[in-house]
Amino acid sequence: MNKLYKIGFLLLAIIIGYIIGNYIPINILKPNITEGEIDKGEYYRLLVSIISAIITFCAVLVALFKDDLRELWKRPIVQFNVPEQITIEDLNSSLESETINATPIASRYISRIEVKNIGNLPVINAEIYLEKLEFVPKDSAITQSIECSSSALLWNGEYLSSIIIPPGGKKLVQIAQVTPPEKFSTPDSATVNRPPTLSIGEIESTKEISKGKWIAKFSLYAQNHKPTSFEVEIHWNGLWKTRLTEFKNHYQITKKA
């Protein structure tokens, strides 16, 4: 039974009891008792009746709210944390076949968030979606809303969008990445330069929408956990650098909530 229905049932019972107590002449049901002392047997029978009534009342409450009471002690609890390195560099694997003195360069930069279950039950069928995305161009105060994809994000190392997170378990999910500029040929043999690209979820930046501030809201949905969200703010000036130490001067990501 839904929690709202249970609360409504109790409120209805209280209202009905109030109406009965104030508008129905209960005194006609009052027995005609002669005042006097009661013996020890009657006293203990009365005491047992009161205790039985209290136990019955508590049993009704437990029957109505047992699932809600159980959730106070046994339930999954999701916590979003910033990893030790929120942004890492993916080095170009082709360099392994080159000389030892070759300078490694990054093939992309990846930003992640850690999702941890600090409860005592597993999070079942956990999925994360890009719920909301806004862009504020550099040197502007105009906020642009960008339509988000309806697909769930893939969990790092799983190639799955829906997973189970056991109690005490933690998983990483990629929320953004920046890829380097590219050159490619069109069917008419012309060469086109593609600028560095920022991808948030499945949304990619364009030449018109790149330099500025991005505000992204991600939400986690699960079978046995209420929807919960976090926000990140990304500042990027559209530049690309081949190593993370230099790239950090042009790209910053912060978890807001």
Token match 């029957």: residue?
A: 63
What confidence score (pLDDT) does residue 95 get? 44
Lowest-confidence pick of 63-72, 152-161, 206-215, 234-243? 63-72
Average pLDDT along the chain: 84
Residues 126 and 220 placed together within one structural domain of the fold = yes
- Which H helix or E strand runs over 232? strand 225-236
Same domain, yes or no: 181 and 231: yes
* pLDDT of amino acid 116: 97
Residues 101 and 146 in one domain: yes
User: Does residue 34 lie within any of the structural domains?
Assistant: no
pLDDT of residue 250: 95
| 119 Cβ neighbours under 8 A, 6+ residues apart | 74, 75, 76, 77, 78, 167
Which tops the pLDDT comparison, 53 or 212?
212
**Are 156 and 239 within one domain?**
yes
For residues 65 and 185, state if they share a domain: no
Could you tell me if 99 and 220 lie in one domain?
yes
CATH number at residue 246: 2.60.40.10
137-189 pLDDT per residue, tens: 988 889 999 999 889 999 987 789 999 999 999 999 999 999 999 877 666 66
The count of domains in the chain is 2
Spatial CA neighbour of 132 closest among 227, 216, 230: 216
Q: Give domain status of residue 203, yes or no.
A: yes
- Domain for residue 191, yes or no? yes
Write out the residue range of the structural domain in which residue 138 sits. Answer: 78-255
Same domain (yes/no): 95, 66: no
- Angle of helix 3-23 relative to helix 40-71, nearest 10 degrees, comes to 150
Q: Indicate if 187 and 112 belong to the same structural domain.
A: yes
Residue 32 lies in a domain: no
Residues 167 and 182 reside in one and the same domain: yes
Choose the weakest-confidence range: 41-55, 122-136, 160-174, 209-223. 41-55
Same domain, 127 and 248: yes
| Model pLDDT, residue 97 | 45
What sign has the CA pseudo-torsion 26, 29, 32, 36? negative
Nearest to 146 by CA among 131, 164, 167, 163: 131
CB within 8 A of 86, min separation 6: which ones? 111, 112, 113, 253, 255
> Residue 142, exposed/middle/buried by CB under 10 A (0-12, 13-18, 19+)?
exposed
Same domain, 10 and 118: no
Residue found under tokens 């850690």: 114
Q: Each residue of 86-131: pLDDT tens digit?
A: 999 998 754 444 555 567 889 999 999 999 999 999 999 999 999 9
Residues 67 and 101 both lie in one domain: no
Question: What is the pTM (predicted TM-score) of this model?
Answer: 0.71
φ/ψ (deg, to 5) at 116: -120, 140
Of 25-29, 62-66, 176-180, 253-257, give the lowest mean pLDDT range.
Answer: 25-29
